A and B are shown apart, each in its own frame.
Chain A
Amino acid sequence: MCETCGCTITPGNEHLVRKDGKLEHTSGGRASIEVLTGLLQENDHQAAHNREHFERHEVLAINLMSSPGSGKTALLEATIEAIGEEFSIAVVEGDLETENDAERIRAKGVPAVQITTGQACHLDAHMVHDALHEMDLDDIDILFIENVGNLVCPASFDLGHHINVTLLSVTEGDDKPAKYPVMFRAADVMLLTKSDLLDVLDDFDTAKAERHLRELANPAKVMTLSARRSQTLEAWLDWLRQSVEARRSGKEMNPSMQPDGVHQQHPA
């Protein structure tokens, strides 16, 4: 959310927040000061700084969000196996405790920094900034930021990344986008993971999951895949290749959690 240009104020909400003067006095003799800034201003300022840092190093930064256990780390392992030679990849891992996920990534020969958040339920731009200090971005093409497994809080914090990828595993239920609308509204891409289990699950309808996503006015690309079946990963890998290319060409990329005044609808 931007305080510089006031883009949080849209034609739709302007009448609700505009007052005649910057400073007016109330009847009780108090001074009333109009502020009109986003509540996450500090985070957003740091996120903008992170984004500049990524852009200077020509890094594509992808924020992976999902509930715990939906297969974020498994997807990263499979992705590294598939295109680790083609692109230079690095990972920032967010968890409340343990280095387990970072160790899994390092075992694939890819640098990983683990952020342990303690009791914090999400990553914020400051935590990511600190992690970047432990990382040499010079030769990196793609930085994956694996957020804390949580379908609520991570959606509210811009990390400075370029794209939000939200995972929904087929063991979770196809109505998750309707239940967690803020999270799925923020998705630029939705991945339906663990698709190898679709054969044994009769209650997950991929078309229904996509319909719930569209009902959030979200045109995000939807891909169905399984980290255990390399042949299902092709669309995802192609999308990654195209996204790296778009980043290299200097195309402006912002996640769709940007304020609605500048909300970029990504083409499906």
Chain B
Amino acid sequence: MDINRRDFLKVASAGGVLLSGVGSAQAREAKPRIKDAVGMLYDSTVCTGCKACVSACKQYNEMPPSFSSNDKLWDDPLDNDSKTLNLIKLYKNGTAAVKDREKDGHAYIKRQCMHCVDAACTSACPVSALKKNEKTGIVMYNVDACIGCRYCQIACPFNIPKFEWEKTFPQIRKCQLCSHRIEKGGYSACAEFCPTGATIFGKMDDLLEEAKKRLTYKPGEYRKYPVARVDGKEKTERLVTPYVPKVYGELDGGGTQVLYLSGVPFEKLGLPDLGPKSVAQQSETIQHTIYKGMIAPIVVLGGLVYLVHKNTKDK
């Protein structure tokens, strides 16, 4: 390929000017929390691993059991799947003797859709089959719009949307925060059936306030914890155990509508360390930077055309 220094510098500098001009103004802004958004607070130290939430979710979403053993005797999936929208997993270390202790301890973690404030799945979906409800902030799935591309499955940093590979007419399955129950004045089944108050439902402001309050409690003292709903009448008095001093989901990944409290570091429970920028924000910034006004693609195409043209000119 023969290109003289002059021509090369022409192309490179022109392209560079254009790209830098295009690049700076395209950073995508973070999405704020919706005012009356609802969500849940899961406190791993309160959870006893009873799995009533898993049963309730299966029942009220009419999901069949998911088998991982040959005998097919129990609903025992190894991870969230197209039939398991909510799952309790176990963290175990060494002898697992003490609950909520990192070393030689064990803890429980509830995994379901996080209903992110700035959801990656919503951003990735090319047909807006996944959209955040404007009032509740629940990330809702519209099967009629979905084209089955599974971009949402790849985009989600929590690996939540699951495609129904086994079905002839497949859908994407994920927790919908029981919006079908909320419509009728109810709330999420997992929160309603949690006997200890590990999972509670409520407005995000109230839940954040409750979560932050719990971080001020002293281990060893007795405190009243709300059960089922953060604004409900039912409360249970329990012994406070040490917390990791962070509310996971407050800012992580741009914020989520399911907040987590734990006695064990969150990474150990499988909750990724995401930083304050949402995945959607980062990817959309790149996308807009590259494709805004289609300037950069045209420049690159122009450059390639020029190069090919140069190499095929009659000598």
Q: Do A and B come from one complex?
A: no
What is B's interface to A at a CB cutoff of 8 Å? none
